[in-house]
Amino acid sequence: MKTRTRHYFPLFIIVSCCVVTISCTSNTTKNQNEKSDSTMSDQFRNNLKEVKNLAKELKRKGISDERVLAAIGKVPRHLFVGEYLREYAYIDEPLSIEKGQTISQPYTVAFQTELLKLQPGEKVLEIGTGSGYQAAILCEMNVEVYSIERYYELHILAKKRLNKLGYYPKLFFGDGFEGLPEYAPFDKILVTAAPEEIPEKLLLQLRVGGWMVVPLGGRQIQKMTVIKRINEDKFNLSEYGDFIFVPMQTGTEE
Ligand code: SAH
């Protein structure tokens, strides 16, 4: 792991005028884990063994946070991909979803979630809702989840899937580069697509002491990076190995 500190002096001026705190309703957190048996499909029951085995495999591969493993062991990943891919859902591989995007490899989901070191009740912003799988994992961690997706179709599909399973994160259709200033500050921000540059507007939406987990380094391969907000204008960067993500793109699409 490499660590270095960066100062974002130009940001300091913006910070004092654009970070707005709006408290959120407590309903979200309460609802997130209300999952009755009736919402759990029979298909999930049939896949319980596979989902538990996936969690065991990730443990063997080095994921050590038991809460993350427990979350992986509960979310029916096969319900977040097209029917033709369901048989591959419990193999530790990324899979295609609509709009040419991917549902991340389970190991990557677990690795990023572990780096967040989530505490119950924290406010977390995810960039790149995609299939909704990572958002479901975050809901299982008992945090307040906000997630943005730039494709309208993916946003709607993820909402349907998540709600059907009894998860109610706050989902937004929009450009993740903008973040959600009206809901900031966030305790943690998780970026699940690869930006070419550090998304600075997002840094400003972190609370002091909070951090962002983001794959950085361009199109081909990225370094998993944790950027911690030390104070108003000081950020500390740590790197945690190579990963490959789909690009983070500006704007929105249907
Ligand atoms: N977390 C997702 C992974 C999806 S892949 C899951 O669990 O399935 C990354 C996603 O980021 C894609 O859906 C892509 O459309 C989305 N994305 C890329 N750039 C974005 C941006 N600027 N704002 C919001 N979403 C973005």
- Give the closest residue (by CA) to ligand 1 atom 20: 248
Instruction: Return the residue whose CA atom lies nearest to atom 21 of ligand 1.
Output: 176
Closest by alpha carbon to 110, among 71, 158, 168, 53? 71
Q: Which atom of ligand 1 is nearest to the CA of 131?
A: 8
Give pLDDT, residue 45.
Answer: 58
Tokens of 112: 């990023």
Residue 36 confidence (pLDDT) = 40
- 185 closest CA partner among 145, 125, 238, 115: 125
**Cβ neighbours of residue 175 under 8 Å, at least 6 residues apart?**
148, 150, 250, 251, 252
pLDDT tens track for 88-100: 999 999 999 999 9
Mean pLDDT lowest for which of 45-59, 193-207, 211-225?
45-59
Q: Does the annotation mark 104 as catalytic?
A: yes
pTM of the model: 0.86
Q: Which atom of ligand 1 is nearest to the CA of 151?
A: 15
Please give the distance, rounded to the nearest whole angstrom, from the Cα atom of residue 215 to the centre of ligand 1.
12
Categorize the per-residue pLDDT at 250 as very low, low, confident or very high, splitting at 50, 70 and 90: very high
pLDDT beyond 50 at 158: yes
pLDDT for position 219? 86
Of ligand 1's listed atoms, the one at least distance from the Cα of 154 is 13
- Give the fold, CATH level 3, of 2-243: Rossmann fold (3.40.50)
Residue 209 burial (CB count, 10 A): 11
Distance 136 CA to ligand 1 centre (A): 14
**Is the pLDDT reported for residue 37 higher than 90?**
no
Is the shortest distance between the CB of 130 and ligand 1 below 6 Å? yes
**Rounded to whole angstroms, how far apart are CA atoms 211 and 190?**
9
Angstrom distances, CA of residue 51 to CA of 46, 71, 144, 185: 10, 10, 24, 34
Q: Is the dihedral of CA 216, 217, 222, 226 positive or negative?
A: negative
Q: Does residue 66 carry a pLDDT above 80?
A: yes
Token code pair at residue 104: 């991340």
Q: What does residue 48 show for φ and ψ, rounded to 5 degrees?
A: -55, -40
Q: Is 47 helix (H, G, I), strand (E, B) or coil?
A: coil
From 26, 41, 104, 131, the catalytic residue: 104
The structure tokens listed for 90 are 């419990």
Sign of the four-CA dihedral 50, 52, 57, 58 = positive
**Phi/psi of residue 247, nearest 5 degrees:** -70, 145
* Dist. CA 254 → ligand 1 center (Å): 14
Share of the chain above pLDDT 90, in %: 80
| pLDDT for the residue numbered 15 | 25
